[in-house]
Every structure is written in structure tokens, then in C-alpha cells.
Structure 1
Amino acid sequence: MPLKIAFAASRAAVAQTARAALIGRYGDADPGAADVIVALGGDGFMLQTLHDTRAMRAPVYGMNRGTIGFLMNEYGEGDLIARLEAAEEAELNPLSMTVQDIHGGRHQALAINEVSLLRSGPQAAKLRITVDGRLRMDELVCDGALVATPAGSTAYNYSAHGPVLPIGSDVLALTAVAAFRPRRWRGALLPKMAHVRFDVLEVDKRPVMAEADSRSIRDVVSVEIQSEPSVVHRILFDPGHGLEERLISEQFT
């Protein structure tokens, strides 16, 4: 039977043009019945597509019609079926974020790359860090902090001088953003199943916001983060260009 492909594209004109051209060649299946979903855009759109399709059976194959494209394959129209049939699959577990805000609200979200806390006022944030119920740091004064998965370790985490994690490692990166006290504290490596809690100190004076893959929540009191093994995102890559190779290559550029 022919491969059933569903095409999704970001709003960018170049992505929409590519989607129209590909549909003209290969047709367009309903995402719920597709064998594979092809996402056209950049990394932000890929994350959005993975979140939107996580309840569907089809894996996602990205083609870069955006900017960075770390999670994407190169764009090409002519040999798509052969590329999809030869593609290698990577499975990713997202992070679960639970936020308590100053109004008593409780918010939950999933993050494939990272969960980050960032100051949202003129003064540095003050955070208390607890890991698996054990207090690890009484007070971190910083612009923010984040917990990143291996897949997200080359994104914001890397920009904040956090470590690049091998894609198959059962490790999370806890990384500080512009730490002031302890001076130049860079963070820690944690087991994948660790439960991390941040408590915001001096909430009124030093407001903090939390983000999970760009979903933002303001006026945070506490944030709890842990891996969510019950959710599995399936991503397809061209042979020799998977996440493991990309993570290694990123460190030599």
C-alpha cells in the first residue's frame, strides 16, 4: 500500500509554498490516519507539531523551512518516499511542569526541550532548589534556571553554558542562567527520573515566570519538574543525520 503522508506547515510563506508543492506530488492524508506526518518549518514549529500530534500513532518527519532546523531534515521534494522509508526513529520523553502561581492557580504543561524559570522584573530572581525531596540549594540568585532534556540540551541550555547531553542518556541538565550567587554556579546533572522543585523567594519583590516549550506562566510561586515516561514523541531522521550525530557535531562547530 502507498505510504499515507499528512503535511503540516508553519505560517511562513516558504513553508506554505513547500506544503502546496508536496501535496501536489504526494497527496495529503488525514493526520489521524496517516503513516507519517511531515512538518515543514523550523524547530519551533516542530515542537508545536509534536505536541499537537502526541496522541496520534504516526511519527513526525521534519523538513527545514525555517531558520535553525536542529530537529529537522534537509528540504527536498523528489525522493521523499524513499527518505521516509529509510528514516531512523528517535523516541523522546518530555518533561512535565506543574506551576503554582500567586493567585492559587495550578498550571500543567509538557516540554520536549526544557522547562525554564526567568525573572520577569528588574531584580534578579531568588530560587530555592529541592531534588527528590531533599533541599540542595537554599538560595540561588540569578536571572533564571532551567531543566533540559538531552534533545533540548543544545537549545537554550547550551546558550546558558549548560552541558550537551548524549541523546540516549538517562540524564537531565539543571542549568543556571547568569548566576550571581553562588558566583558562576553552572548547575548540575541529574538522573532522568529526578523530581526537581523550584520555590521562588521574595515573590512580590522578585517576580518570576515559567516556560515549557514557549508556554509561559507568570507570577510563579513554585515549579515542579519531572520526566514524563508515559508520553513518547517519535521523530524521524535521515540515516546518519539523527539526533545523536547532531548533538556530537554541535560541540565541534
Structure 2
Amino acid sequence: GKTLLARALAQALSLRYARVQFTPDLMPADVIGHSVLDDTGNGLGKLRVRRGPVFTHLLLADEINRAPAKTQSALLEVMQEYQATLEGETLPLPRPFIVMATQNPVDTEGTYPLPEAQLDRFLLQIRMGYPSHAEETALVQLATTGRAGHELPLEALKPALDDVQVLELQRLCSLVHADERVIDHAVRVVRATRSWPGLDLGAGPRASIALVRTARATALIKGRDFITPDDIASQALAVLRHRVTMAPDAQIEGRDLDEL
């Protein structure tokens, strides 16, 4: 389902797509890239930079918490600066650049906790629960009728945008008006998490930035050129849930983070 979602998004936006399966033995060079020595035929070799899968438009990091911290940290520069450093050379990434990552919240054996610095660089965390009965019935019908097990139902999906239009939409989002009072409201919401009962660690300033950015995108989708407190509220859970940490007593009581 997660791979299908990422591929469908890339196809709808006419973007290049790459998937990396994170495993305990995955090395940073497997993600970023590395140098190889080509034989020139005269007894000498020539170094050639082989770019990794991050040099794409949409990168799916599948089960990202199965890789050790060293490999996870390789994505920090990529996600923040939109560039990668190979053999001392800084190479820009294609634009637009989007990282989608998955992790299984149930099967945690053989996994590594994601560092807070990396979690903070993800704009949103979306929980995908079970589909409804009607949705699951339609899913089974679509996935099994006239298709083998490896075939994904994407043939009917037509591209709606291209990379230039996606960049233009990002620019338009930045132009959506954000009143100073609404920005102040967003900052207050984020700052409240730092002293909220049941939370051991609150969200940082990146959360305030992400909250306003997602509110701008929400307003643009709804055809408005300004944001409202309702836009802030609609995105608060997705923006904040991966940026805060529950207190031990709340975890012992079995409380849900979204309820807090």
C-alpha cells in the first residue's frame, strides 16, 4: 500500500521515483552514492562518481527505522539542504525533491529509534489505519481482478501536473497571506507542547514553521489567499505528533499521543 501510494503520487505529478529498502546492513553510500574505479585500458584507473537513489524527485525510504543511525543521518543534509556531498563535492538534488518514509509501529524488533533531528525534518506524520469494510472490498476487487500478484493498478492514473507546475504550486503557497495574529496563534500552539501535561519533550521552532507552511497549503487547496486558525488546527496533529515525546507515566497508562 505504501509503495503503491508513493508510485501513484509520482505518476500523477510526472516525477521521477526511487525506493530504498532500509535494512540493518544498509550503508550511507547505498543511499547517497559512491565512487567507482573505471579501467581505462592503459593500466590506470579513473574515478567516476555513481549517484545514489536520492538523486530523484520522490524518494521512498521504506521501513526507515530498520537502518542504523549512521545511515539515517545521511539523509539529514539531503532533506534540509537539498544537496548531497560525494567525495568532497557538493551536488544539488533535482527539484522538486520529496522524501516519503514508512515505519511499522507494531513490529519493532531489529529497529533503531529515529533521531529527533531527522524526525524534525519531516513535514508531516500520517497514521494509516485499517480501511473501512467498503474500502477494503473495493481494494481487493481492484487488486485481484485481471491482475497478477506483482501488478499494481496504476494504468488508469493519468499525470495531472509536471515538475515545473509542482514548483510553481510551491511558490504560490509561499505567497498565501499569513496574518501576524494567526502566526502568533501557531507559535503559541507549538510552545504549549513544551509544558503540556503528559509530554516529556515538546516541539521546536521547526514545528511552528511547518504548521504555518501546511496551513498555507491548506488555504491554497481551498481556494483562499489567506490562512485562518482553522487551517492551523486541521494540520496540528500531523505536524506535531512526531515532534513530541510522551512522558513515561503517560506511556505506562497507555494513553494515546493524539489524545494528549
Same fold (TM over 0.5): no
Relative to its length, the structure with more strand (as a share) is 1
Greater relative contact order (CA < 8 Å, ≥ 6 in sequence): 1
Q: TM-score, normalised by structure 2?
A: 0.29
Task: Give the greater-gyration-radius structure (CA).
Answer: 2
Q: TM-score, normalised by structure 1?
A: 0.29
